[in-house]
Structure 1
């Protein structure tokens, strides 16, 4: 009887260790943006972006603090957070969506579309982003780029500064995911 209990315990332990989590996470995803103008280019990087993917549902969620963007000039950082994004009122940007026709078991690169809702300054917009998803040794790398129209998120730019800020901002991202451990 004791041997059967020990055998059942060992079998249960082995089976539970083989169960893979359906969630992968990155806590240091990278998002950068670039604004080209004839006066001065504006670019910033945020290396503290949180993202989780539920592989069983192909759902993705991203959250980032807006004041974590790093600029070459501190004055740009100040203007971005205080005047344009108003990060005291709207501290985070988020994205929630679905990776269309994604096969989590496939090794190598898959080019897929991600459809979802981007929220900046509490304004939500439906977007579709073309991404490259590379699976290597059970880890996932997701990269891509897209554009955001400044007026879509009601970012107010004073008329005197309009020539200094592009109407469309280019955004790039790179996320390296690991299995989520609870």
Structure 2
């Protein structure tokens, strides 16, 4: 995981040891599908993220196989039939928080992040609403947004259409610590 964070720092072009950057190695991502016959929920605590409040640069990545489901058969179908996790092992977002946040001042700040969301190997430009919460130097970023399966070429067979929603709700919560070289 440390190497993923370092890779993100390199991608962000952060020089001078990333002195303005914050890193999260255990972002929590929750998926929820509400469908007529069955609700499906999954959670991962293995997301990684780098956020630089000075530049607004933001990067997230989560291994698809890290999502845990209540039923093992759901998890198997998710990885093999829908997400093709061996072929597309990660989902990611790379972009910028559009608002300038002063992380030296406590508060809750509504933000928008604009960038590229990649799911199932398909990249899509997105602007996603969220909030940054600063409390005594601790930085937390959270967001709830929807991902439409067809936008990322995730095929839902007609046989299971009543069990899987066309749009999946995604909730993200990341607690950051100041990057230490």
> Do the structures match in fold with TM over 0.5?
yes
SS of structure 2 residue aligned to 1:56 = coil
* Counterpart for residue 129 of structure 2: 130
Matched positions, count: 164
Alpha-carbon separation, structure 1, partners of 2:96 and 2:102: 13
Alpha-carbon separation, structure 1, partners of 2:36 and 2:163: 7
Runs ≥4 residues deviating over 3 A: none
SS of structure 2 residue aligned to 1:93 = strand
Instruction: Map 1:1-182 onto structure 2 (within 5 A).
Output: 21-105=19-103, 106-182=105-181
Alpha-carbon separation, structure 2, partners of 1:45 and 1:38: 21
Alpha-carbon separation, structure 2, partners of 1:149 and 1:55: 29
**Structure 2 residues not aligned, in runs of 5+:** 1-16
> Are the structure 2 counterparts of residues 103 and 126 from structure 1 closer, same or farther at C-alpha, using a change threshold of 3 Å?
same
Alpha-carbon offset, residue 110 of structure 1: 0.5
**Structure 1 residues not aligned, in runs of 5+:** 1-18
Alpha-carbon separation, structure 2, partners of 1:41 and 1:101: 35
SS of structure 1 residue aligned to 2:132 = strand
CA RMSD of aligned residues (A): 1.4
Alpha-carbon offset, residue 107 of structure 1: 2.1
Alpha-carbon offset, residue 143 of structure 1: 1.0
SS of structure 2 residue aligned to 1:164 = coil
Q: Is the 8 A contact 2:54 2:100 kept in 1?
A: no
Q: Any idea what the Cα deviations from partners look like across 1:55-95, whole Å, max 9, x if unmatched?
A: 22110000110000010000000000000000000000110
